[in-house]
Amino acid sequence: MGNRTFALVVVAVVGVGFLTTRLGVNQYYYFAGYVILQYIVLATAWNILGGYTGYVNFGTAGFFALGAYTSVVLIKSAGAPLVVLLIAAGFVTGLLGLGIGYLTLRLRGVFFSIATLALAVVLETVAINSEYVGGARGITISRPARSLLFGSYVEFLFAVMLLLALLAIAVAWWIETSWIGRGLAAIRDNEEAAECMGVPTLRLKLVATTVSGSLMGIAGAPFPYYVTFVDPLSTFDLNYAVNSLAMPMVGGTTTWIGPVIGAVLLATAQQVATVTISSELNLLIVGVVLVGFVILAPEGLLGLVRRVRGR
Protein backbone atom coordinates (compact mmCIF):
# COMPACT_ATOMS: atom_id res chain seq x y z
CA MET A 1 0.00 0.00 0.00
CA GLY A 2 1.42 3.37 -1.00
CA ASN A 3 1.55 6.49 1.12
CA ARG A 4 -1.38 8.11 -0.64
CA THR A 5 -3.75 5.14 -0.44
CA PHE A 6 -2.91 4.78 3.22
CA ALA A 7 -3.72 8.45 3.83
CA LEU A 8 -6.97 8.09 1.91
CA VAL A 9 -8.01 5.07 3.97
CA VAL A 10 -7.24 7.02 7.15
CA VAL A 11 -9.39 9.95 6.04
CA ALA A 12 -12.21 7.61 5.02
CA VAL A 13 -12.19 5.76 8.34
CA VAL A 14 -12.17 9.02 10.32
CA GLY A 15 -15.06 10.30 8.22
CA VAL A 16 -17.15 7.17 8.69
CA GLY A 17 -16.32 7.06 12.39
CA PHE A 18 -17.36 10.67 12.81
CA LEU A 19 -20.58 10.12 10.88
CA THR A 20 -21.63 7.23 13.10
CA THR A 21 -21.58 9.61 16.06
CA ARG A 22 -24.18 11.72 14.19
CA LEU A 23 -26.61 8.86 13.67
CA GLY A 24 -27.74 8.59 17.25
CA VAL A 25 -27.21 4.84 17.66
CA ASN A 26 -27.46 3.07 21.00
CA GLN A 27 -24.80 4.34 23.45
CA TYR A 28 -23.73 0.77 24.18
CA TYR A 29 -22.12 0.49 20.75
CA TYR A 30 -19.77 3.34 21.60
CA PHE A 31 -18.77 1.63 24.82
CA ALA A 32 -18.13 -1.62 22.97
CA GLY A 33 -16.46 0.12 20.02
CA TYR A 34 -14.15 1.99 22.38
CA VAL A 35 -12.91 -1.27 23.87
CA ILE A 36 -12.29 -2.80 20.46
CA LEU A 37 -10.37 0.28 19.28
CA GLN A 38 -8.40 0.33 22.53
CA TYR A 39 -7.33 -3.24 21.85
CA ILE A 40 -6.27 -2.29 18.33
CA VAL A 41 -3.92 0.28 19.89
CA LEU A 42 -2.61 -2.16 22.51
CA ALA A 43 -2.16 -5.06 20.10
CA THR A 44 -0.43 -2.83 17.53
CA ALA A 45 1.82 -1.38 20.22
CA TRP A 46 2.69 -4.83 21.55
CA ASN A 47 3.45 -6.03 18.05
CA ILE A 48 6.01 -3.29 17.39
CA LEU A 49 8.18 -4.85 20.08
CA GLY A 50 6.92 -8.44 20.14
CA GLY A 51 6.19 -9.10 16.49
CA TYR A 52 8.79 -6.96 14.72
CA THR A 53 11.64 -7.25 17.21
CA GLY A 54 10.93 -10.60 18.86
CA TYR A 55 10.95 -9.38 22.47
CA VAL A 56 7.83 -10.69 24.26
CA ASN A 57 6.39 -8.13 26.65
CA PHE A 58 4.16 -9.53 29.41
CA GLY A 59 3.82 -6.12 31.04
CA THR A 60 1.22 -4.48 28.77
CA ALA A 61 -1.08 -4.01 31.76
CA GLY A 62 1.70 -2.12 33.54
CA PHE A 63 2.17 0.36 30.70
CA PHE A 64 -1.56 0.74 30.15
CA ALA A 65 -2.19 1.35 33.84
CA LEU A 66 0.74 3.77 34.14
CA GLY A 67 -0.90 5.80 31.37
CA ALA A 68 -4.25 5.67 33.15
CA TYR A 69 -2.73 6.67 36.49
CA THR A 70 -0.77 9.51 34.90
CA SER A 71 -4.15 10.81 33.76
CA VAL A 72 -5.64 10.35 37.22
CA VAL A 73 -2.85 12.41 38.78
CA LEU A 74 -3.20 15.20 36.19
CA ILE A 75 -7.01 15.28 36.42
CA LYS A 76 -6.89 15.38 40.19
CA SER A 77 -4.09 17.93 40.56
CA ALA A 78 -4.68 20.26 37.60
CA GLY A 79 -7.90 19.23 35.89
CA ALA A 80 -5.89 18.94 32.70
CA PRO A 81 -7.68 18.56 29.33
CA LEU A 82 -7.64 15.27 27.43
CA VAL A 83 -4.95 16.36 24.94
CA VAL A 84 -2.55 17.05 27.79
CA LEU A 85 -3.42 13.70 29.36
CA LEU A 86 -2.62 11.85 26.14
CA ILE A 87 0.71 13.61 25.66
CA ALA A 88 1.74 13.23 29.30
CA ALA A 89 0.79 9.55 29.42
CA GLY A 90 2.67 8.91 26.20
CA PHE A 91 5.73 10.69 27.56
CA VAL A 92 5.79 8.92 30.94
CA THR A 93 5.24 5.43 29.54
CA GLY A 94 7.69 6.18 26.74
CA LEU A 95 10.31 6.83 29.41
CA LEU A 96 9.43 3.53 31.07
CA GLY A 97 9.72 1.86 27.67
CA LEU A 98 13.16 3.42 27.25
CA GLY A 99 14.17 1.93 30.60
CA ILE A 100 12.90 -1.48 29.50
CA GLY A 101 14.94 -1.01 26.34
CA TYR A 102 18.16 -0.65 28.34
CA LEU A 103 17.15 -3.82 30.18
CA THR A 104 17.48 -5.72 26.89
CA LEU A 105 21.21 -5.08 27.10
CA ARG A 106 21.42 -7.73 29.80
CA LEU A 107 18.22 -9.68 29.43
CA ARG A 108 17.42 -11.62 26.31
CA GLY A 109 14.51 -13.87 25.45
CA VAL A 110 12.59 -15.31 28.37
CA PHE A 111 14.46 -13.31 31.00
CA PHE A 112 13.27 -10.11 29.39
CA SER A 113 9.68 -11.39 29.39
CA ILE A 114 9.80 -12.35 33.06
CA ALA A 115 11.30 -8.96 33.90
CA THR A 116 8.40 -7.14 32.18
CA LEU A 117 5.92 -9.21 34.16
CA ALA A 118 7.83 -8.34 37.32
CA LEU A 119 7.74 -4.67 36.38
CA ALA A 120 3.95 -4.73 36.05
CA VAL A 121 3.57 -6.26 39.51
CA VAL A 122 5.96 -3.73 41.07
CA LEU A 123 3.99 -0.87 39.47
CA GLU A 124 0.73 -2.37 40.75
CA THR A 125 2.15 -2.54 44.27
CA VAL A 126 3.18 1.10 44.03
CA ALA A 127 -0.34 2.03 42.88
CA ILE A 128 -1.91 0.04 45.72
CA ASN A 129 0.26 1.90 48.20
CA SER A 130 -0.29 5.38 46.75
CA GLU A 131 -3.10 7.00 48.66
CA TYR A 132 -3.11 10.04 46.37
CA VAL A 133 -4.51 7.99 43.49
CA GLY A 134 -6.91 6.06 45.69
CA GLY A 135 -4.69 3.18 46.83
CA ALA A 136 -6.25 -0.27 46.80
CA ARG A 137 -9.77 1.12 47.14
CA GLY A 138 -9.64 3.01 43.86
CA ILE A 139 -10.69 6.51 42.91
CA THR A 140 -13.75 7.97 41.23
CA ILE A 141 -13.22 10.32 38.29
CA SER A 142 -16.11 12.45 37.14
CA ARG A 143 -16.53 12.68 33.41
CA PRO A 144 -17.05 16.11 31.79
CA ALA A 145 -20.77 16.40 31.02
CA ARG A 146 -20.53 16.75 27.26
CA SER A 147 -18.14 17.73 24.58
CA LEU A 148 -18.18 20.10 21.63
CA LEU A 149 -19.59 18.58 18.44
CA PHE A 150 -20.54 15.33 20.15
CA GLY A 151 -23.83 14.26 21.71
CA SER A 152 -22.26 12.61 24.73
CA TYR A 153 -18.79 12.34 26.21
CA VAL A 154 -18.62 8.63 25.41
CA GLU A 155 -19.09 9.41 21.73
CA PHE A 156 -16.24 11.89 22.02
CA LEU A 157 -14.02 9.26 23.69
CA PHE A 158 -14.94 6.81 20.94
CA ALA A 159 -13.81 9.32 18.30
CA VAL A 160 -10.57 10.00 20.22
CA MET A 161 -9.83 6.28 20.46
CA LEU A 162 -10.52 5.93 16.75
CA LEU A 163 -7.88 8.57 16.04
CA LEU A 164 -5.46 6.88 18.42
CA ALA A 165 -6.00 3.52 16.72
CA LEU A 166 -5.22 5.11 13.37
CA LEU A 167 -2.18 6.81 14.86
CA ALA A 168 -0.92 3.50 16.23
CA ILE A 169 -1.46 1.75 12.90
CA ALA A 170 0.25 4.59 11.03
CA VAL A 171 3.26 4.39 13.35
CA ALA A 172 3.45 0.61 12.98
CA TRP A 173 3.11 0.90 9.22
CA TRP A 174 5.82 3.55 9.07
CA ILE A 175 8.22 1.49 11.19
CA GLU A 176 7.51 -1.60 9.15
CA THR A 177 8.19 -0.01 5.78
CA SER A 178 11.21 2.08 6.81
CA TRP A 179 14.77 0.92 7.43
CA ILE A 180 13.91 0.68 11.14
CA GLY A 181 11.56 -2.22 10.44
CA ARG A 182 14.20 -4.07 8.48
CA GLY A 183 16.69 -3.55 11.30
CA LEU A 184 14.18 -4.81 13.86
CA ALA A 185 13.47 -7.89 11.72
CA ALA A 186 17.22 -8.54 11.62
CA ILE A 187 17.30 -8.38 15.44
CA ARG A 188 14.36 -10.77 15.62
CA ASP A 189 16.04 -13.30 13.36
CA ASN A 190 19.49 -13.17 14.90
CA GLU A 191 20.58 -10.38 17.20
CA GLU A 192 24.29 -11.27 17.26
CA ALA A 193 24.48 -11.55 13.48
CA ALA A 194 22.64 -8.23 13.09
CA GLU A 195 25.08 -6.53 15.46
CA CYS A 196 28.02 -7.95 13.55
CA MET A 197 26.60 -6.69 10.26
CA GLY A 198 26.61 -3.17 11.65
CA VAL A 199 22.91 -2.89 12.54
CA PRO A 200 22.68 -0.42 15.47
CA THR A 201 20.79 -2.99 17.57
CA LEU A 202 20.65 -1.06 20.84
CA ARG A 203 19.36 2.13 19.24
CA LEU A 204 16.74 0.22 17.25
CA LYS A 205 15.60 -1.73 20.30
CA LEU A 206 15.31 1.53 22.26
CA VAL A 207 13.13 2.96 19.48
CA ALA A 208 10.92 -0.15 19.54
CA THR A 209 10.51 -0.30 23.32
CA THR A 210 9.92 3.45 23.65
CA VAL A 211 7.35 3.65 20.84
CA SER A 212 5.62 0.46 21.97
CA GLY A 213 5.46 1.55 25.62
CA SER A 214 4.38 5.05 24.73
CA LEU A 215 1.46 3.83 22.59
CA MET A 216 0.30 1.50 25.38
CA GLY A 217 0.30 4.40 27.81
CA ILE A 218 -1.61 6.63 25.40
CA ALA A 219 -4.22 3.87 25.10
CA GLY A 220 -4.60 4.01 28.88
CA ALA A 221 -4.79 7.81 29.13
CA PRO A 222 -8.56 8.24 28.37
CA PHE A 223 -9.35 5.14 30.47
CA PRO A 224 -10.24 7.03 33.71
CA TYR A 225 -12.86 9.05 31.82
CA TYR A 226 -14.16 5.91 30.16
CA VAL A 227 -14.70 3.83 33.30
CA THR A 228 -15.01 6.80 35.74
CA PHE A 229 -13.64 4.54 38.47
CA VAL A 230 -9.96 3.54 38.54
CA ASP A 231 -8.62 0.87 40.86
CA PRO A 232 -5.41 -1.21 40.68
CA LEU A 233 -7.18 -4.55 40.25
CA SER A 234 -8.99 -3.62 37.04
CA THR A 235 -6.33 -1.37 35.49
CA PHE A 236 -3.49 -3.84 36.03
CA ASP A 237 -5.69 -6.70 34.84
CA LEU A 238 -3.75 -9.58 33.33
CA ASN A 239 -6.37 -9.63 30.53
CA TYR A 240 -4.62 -6.67 28.91
CA ALA A 241 -1.35 -8.57 28.76
CA VAL A 242 -2.98 -11.77 27.47
CA ASN A 243 -5.15 -10.00 24.91
CA SER A 244 -2.47 -7.70 23.55
CA LEU A 245 -0.30 -10.74 22.90
CA ALA A 246 -3.06 -13.08 21.76
CA MET A 247 -4.40 -10.64 19.16
CA PRO A 248 -1.19 -10.32 17.10
CA MET A 249 -0.63 -14.07 17.51
CA VAL A 250 -4.09 -14.74 16.08
CA GLY A 251 -3.81 -12.22 13.27
CA GLY A 252 -0.16 -12.57 12.39
CA THR A 253 2.86 -10.83 13.88
CA THR A 254 4.95 -9.75 10.91
CA THR A 255 2.74 -7.01 9.44
CA TRP A 256 0.70 -4.10 10.80
CA ILE A 257 -2.58 -5.60 9.61
CA GLY A 258 -2.13 -8.80 11.69
CA PRO A 259 -2.76 -7.25 15.12
CA VAL A 260 -5.64 -5.21 13.70
CA ILE A 261 -7.36 -8.33 12.35
CA GLY A 262 -6.70 -10.19 15.60
CA ALA A 263 -7.92 -7.29 17.75
CA VAL A 264 -11.12 -6.80 15.75
CA LEU A 265 -11.92 -10.53 15.79
CA LEU A 266 -11.01 -11.30 19.40
CA ALA A 267 -12.30 -8.07 20.93
CA THR A 268 -15.60 -8.25 19.05
CA ALA A 269 -16.02 -11.91 20.00
CA GLN A 270 -15.36 -10.99 23.63
CA GLN A 271 -17.83 -8.11 23.57
CA VAL A 272 -20.50 -10.39 22.12
CA ALA A 273 -19.66 -13.20 24.55
CA THR A 274 -19.75 -10.82 27.53
CA VAL A 275 -23.28 -9.77 26.64
CA THR A 276 -24.63 -13.15 25.59
CA ILE A 277 -22.75 -15.68 27.74
CA SER A 278 -20.61 -14.49 30.64
CA SER A 279 -17.53 -12.37 31.13
CA GLU A 280 -15.54 -15.23 32.67
CA LEU A 281 -16.28 -17.63 29.84
CA ASN A 282 -15.16 -15.15 27.21
CA LEU A 283 -11.75 -14.97 28.92
CA LEU A 284 -11.55 -18.74 28.74
CA ILE A 285 -12.21 -18.49 25.01
CA VAL A 286 -9.31 -16.04 24.61
CA GLY A 287 -6.98 -18.43 26.43
CA VAL A 288 -8.05 -21.42 24.36
CA VAL A 289 -7.81 -19.45 21.09
CA LEU A 290 -4.33 -18.23 22.06
CA VAL A 291 -3.02 -21.70 22.89
CA GLY A 292 -4.73 -23.19 19.84
CA PHE A 293 -3.19 -20.65 17.51
CA VAL A 294 0.29 -20.78 18.97
CA ILE A 295 0.28 -24.59 18.57
CA LEU A 296 -1.57 -25.04 15.29
CA ALA A 297 -1.10 -21.79 13.36
CA PRO A 298 2.05 -20.10 14.68
CA GLU A 299 1.98 -17.60 11.81
CA GLY A 300 -1.56 -16.51 12.63
CA LEU A 301 -4.48 -16.08 10.24
CA LEU A 302 -2.29 -14.24 7.71
CA GLY A 303 0.12 -17.17 7.74
CA LEU A 304 -2.78 -19.58 7.22
CA VAL A 305 -4.03 -17.58 4.25
CA ARG A 306 -0.53 -17.49 2.79
CA ARG A 307 -0.15 -21.24 3.24
CA VAL A 308 -3.47 -21.97 1.56
CA ARG A 309 -2.64 -19.65 -1.34
CA GLY A 310 0.82 -21.10 -1.73
CA ARG A 311 -0.60 -24.52 -2.50
Partner 1 sequence: MVALDLLWNAVIAGILLGGFYAAVSLGISIAFGLLDVVNIAHPVFVVLGSYAAYVTNTAFGLDPIVAGVLFTPVFYLIGVVVYRVYYVSFEKKGQESLRGLVFFFGLLFIIEVGLTLKYGVDYRLVEARYIGENLRVGPVSVALRLLVPFLVAVLLTLGIHLYFSKTFLGRAIKAVSQDSLALRLMGADPVKIKDVAFGIAIATASLAGALLIMIGPVEPSMNRAYIGRVFAIAVLGGMGSIGGTLVAGLILGVVESLTSTFYGPSWSVAVSFGVLLLALAVRPAGLFGR
- Please list, residue by residue across 230-250, b when 16 or more beta carbons sit within 10 angstroms of its beta carbon and e when fewer do: bbbebbbbebbbbbbbbbbbb
Does 110 help bind partner 1 (rule: CB under 8 A)? yes
Applying CB under 8 A, among 144, 281, 305, 306 the residue interacting with partner 1 is 281
Site size for partner 1, by CB under 8 A? 39
Amino acid letter, 227: V
**Greatest C-alpha distance within the chain:** 61
Is-contact 242 62, C-beta < 8 A?
no
Contact 216, 44 (CB under 8 A): no
Under rule CB under 8 A, residue 87 binds partner 1: no
The stretch among 78-86, 199-207, 260-268, 287-295 that binds partner 1 (CB under 8 A) is 287-295
* Contact pattern for partner 1 over residues 238 through 277, marking x by CB under 8 A: x---x--xx--x----------------------------
Do 45 and 168 touch, CB atoms closer than 8 A?
Answer: yes
163 scored as a contact of partner 1 (CB under 8 A): no
- CA 239/CA 205 separation, integer angstroms: 25
Query: Shortest CA distance to 41 belongs to which of 241, 219, 214, 268?
Result: 219
Asked if 58 is part of the footprint of partner 1 (rule: CB under 8 A), the reply reads yes
Find the shortest distance in angstroms from Cβ 44 to partner 1. 17
- Residues within the interface to partner 1 (CB under 8 A): 54, 56, 58, 103, 106-107, 109-111, 113-115, 117-119, 121-122, 125-126, 128-129, 136, 238, 242, 245-246, 249, 280-281, 283-284, 286-288, 290-291, 294-295, 298
